[in-house]
A and B are shown apart, each in its own frame.
Chain A
Amino acid sequence: MNCHDALLVQAYLDDELDAAQSLEVARHMEACERCGTYYRRLEATRGAMSHPQLRYQAPAYLRASILPAAPRTSAMTRRRPPAWGLALAASFLALAAIGSFGLLRGTGPRQDAMVAEAISGHMRSMQINHLIDVVSTDQHTVKPWFDGKLDFSPEVTDLAAEGFPLAGGRMDVLQGRSVAALVYRHRLHVINLYQWPAAGSTEPAATAADGYNSVSWTEGGMAFIAVSNVAPDALDAFVAAFRGRNSLRNESKR
């Protein structure tokens, strides 16, 4: 790469390069002190901008004045949840979407009115604090927590190094089946990873509905669905990171 191509270094930071380009930039930065320093400056700046208080929260009164649904808005007003809480609320919509009409069957973004009502009703009935039953960033705490609660042992892996720190886990039910739900964070977003035992093997398949993206796949005796409102490529990166860690671990077990 050209040493003066600052935008390429920046694109590397922003995860906007394909694998070959990334490799090239990474190699160049190992050898080139100037580009390495520039990269660290960018990284430090991004670190500064990731301060959670920089993101403004919609004031409760505004939420209430914009949205017609009184029950939910009054609940929101009382709680004044932090960014985290709102992210949780948002991810509940994803859960509602799955539970009520089957995101996975490829329902398009234009649901009929009944479905919209179902989502809306579901949203109102949701309690923010139900997202996480066990709050821990430690996989060795989260994994044993599921023991005895499920008839299987879920794969639990922290992905903090890859930018997806584990936040905790909970029990859930999808279409009548008890499943494990792991909760990961990515910047200000929440990713739910559902899993349960399943035979066979399928490659990751992506769907999108109502602003939520999901990726589902089956491998190693387990079915997985990741759901989030992060961008599709971020969710793909998450899935790749999770699968990468898991295959490494499963190999070392043998």
Chain B
Amino acid sequence: MPALLAAMSPAPDRHRTARFEACFLPHLDAAWNLARWLARSDADAEDALQESMLRALRYFDSFNGENPRVWLLAIVRNTTWTLIAKKPGQGVHESLDEDLHLLVDGGPTPEAIALVASDIAVLQSALDTLPAPLREIVVLRELEGFSYKEIATITSLKIGTVMSRLARARERLAAELVRSPLEVSP
């Protein structure tokens, strides 16, 4: 049975497919991770990833050879949001107050900072419930380790926006996950 890429390749070309694989196979997990966090369900993430790989193959000739992970994830990100946007109340256009109310003053000022949660379910839900525009930045930075500049490229956002969203996202996560020892003890 021919697999997806072999079947859908515009001009079935073994060499091209091999080159494509060599470029992007190493980044399949990164692609899936992003799609899955954005879509928040296996089924939607799967559709998004399949569609993304097809698009990537279609546009492969326009790939300049630099940083395939960034190139692929930009496609995955846009494809996933496009799919998600068809569902009500979701997606990257979720409303977000862009004002930056930070933060240095806001937090507690204990000597030590403690994580309250290391339980995976709690961590997962904290990230899952972030508004989509913040969630994607956290996934790209904390889970995939992209630089600010790379995140800006993937998301087509200004680097300043990336930085402020990341700070807001972390502030929200910290509010849920991080306490001073005083707060933790009963």
CB of B83 closer than 8 Å to a CB of A: no
With an 8 Å Cβ cutoff, the count of chain B residues facing the other chain is: 74
- Chain B residues contacting A47 (CB-CB under 8 Å) are 115
Which A residue sits closest to B108, measured CB to CB? A37
Q: How far is the CB of B84 from chain A (nearest CB, A)?
A: 16
The contact of A48 among B21, B164, B173, by CB within 8 Å, is: B173
Q: Map CB proximity to B onto A4-41 as digits: 1 under 8 Å, 0 otherwise.
A: 10110111001010000000000000000111011011
Within 8 A of A (CB), among B9-36: 14-19, 21-29, 31-33, 36
CB of A46 closer than 8 Å to a CB of B: yes
Which B residue sits closest to A186, measured CB to CB? B145
What's the interface size class on A, roughly? 35 or more
CB of B142 closer than 8 Å to a CB of A: yes
- A65-B50, A66-B50, A68-B5 given; name 14 further pairs at CB < 8 Å: A4-B104, A6-B104, A14-B166, A35-B104, A62-B46, A111-B19, A117-B14, A117-B15, A123-B22, A186-B145, A211-B27, A211-B68, A211-B69, A231-B150
Measuring CB to CB, which residues of chain A are less than 8 angstroms from any residue of chain B?
3-4, 6-7, 9-11, 14, 16, 33-35, 37-38, 40-51, 53-59, 62-70, 83, 86, 90, 93, 108-111, 113, 116-117, 119-120, 123, 186-189, 208, 210-212, 229-231, 233-234
- Cβ contacts A to B, 28 pairs, < 8 Å: A6-B103, A10-B163, A14-B147, A35-B104, A37-B109, A40-B112, A44-B177, A48-B126, A54-B120, A55-B29, A55-B143, A56-B37, A58-B32, A62-B32, A62-B49, A62-B50, A67-B28, A90-B26, A108-B65, A116-B22, A187-B145, A208-B66, A210-B68, A211-B23, A212-B26, A229-B26, A231-B147, A231-B150
